[in-house]
Structures are given as structure tokens and as C-alpha cells.
């Protein structure tokens, strides 16, 4: 009897932010947001950003004042 293939699903908290922090440890403990392909909407938020009340998928222009006020670090999505 052959074994069935196994599939695993891994979900990481703040995944794209975590990836940026791997390459930029200076971002640890700083507010970080990753934006969609065209930098229009928020697709990942650090805990610091979540604590400010910024929601997933919100257009950047709606929260630009918070970005400026809290010096949130912005990154474009980087799928590589």
C-alpha cells in the first residue's frame, strides 16, 4: 500500500514584515508596513502598526498621516 502525499500549510505572523526584518535587523521593534504591488494598499503590518489601528488592505493615502507621525517604515512587496 502506497503512502498518500502529505501537504503542510505554514502561516507566519506578519509574514512580509518578518521577511524584511530578516535582511534588515535594524527594523526590529520599529513600525513596518509592506504595501501591495503598486504600493497602493497595506498587505502586511508589524505589531507596532497594528497597535496604531491601521487595518489590513487600507489604502496608503488614508493612513499617510500616521506613517509620517510614527515614522513607519514602508516597503514594496518583494516576492523574490
> What 3-state class would DSSP assign to 45?
strand
All cell numbers assigned to 51: 497597535
Q: Report the alpha-carbon distance of residue 6 to residue 14 in Å, rounded.
A: 26
The three cell numbers locating residue 32? 513596518
Give the chain's mean pLDDT: 92
Which residue intervals of 1-80 are DSSP H helices? 15-23, 47-51, 60-70
Half-sphere exposure of 79 (CA within 13 A, CB side): 3
**Tens-place pLDDT, residues 8-43:** 887 777 889 999 999 999 999 999 999 998 889 999
Amino acid at each position: 500500500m502506497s503512502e498518500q502525499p502529505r501537504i503542510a500549510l505554514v502561516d507566519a505572523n506578519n509574514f512580509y514584515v518578518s521577511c524584511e526584518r530578516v535582511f534588515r535587523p535594524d527594523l526590529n521593534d520599529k513600525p513596518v508596513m509592506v504595501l501591495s504591488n503598486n504600493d497602493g494598499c497595506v498587505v502586511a503590518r508589524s505589531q507596532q502598526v497594528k497597535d496604531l489601528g491601521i487595518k489590513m488592505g487600507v489604502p496608503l493615502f488614508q493612513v499617510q498621516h500616521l506613517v509620517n507621525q510614527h515614522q513607519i517604515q514602508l516597503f514594496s512587496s518583494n516576492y523574490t
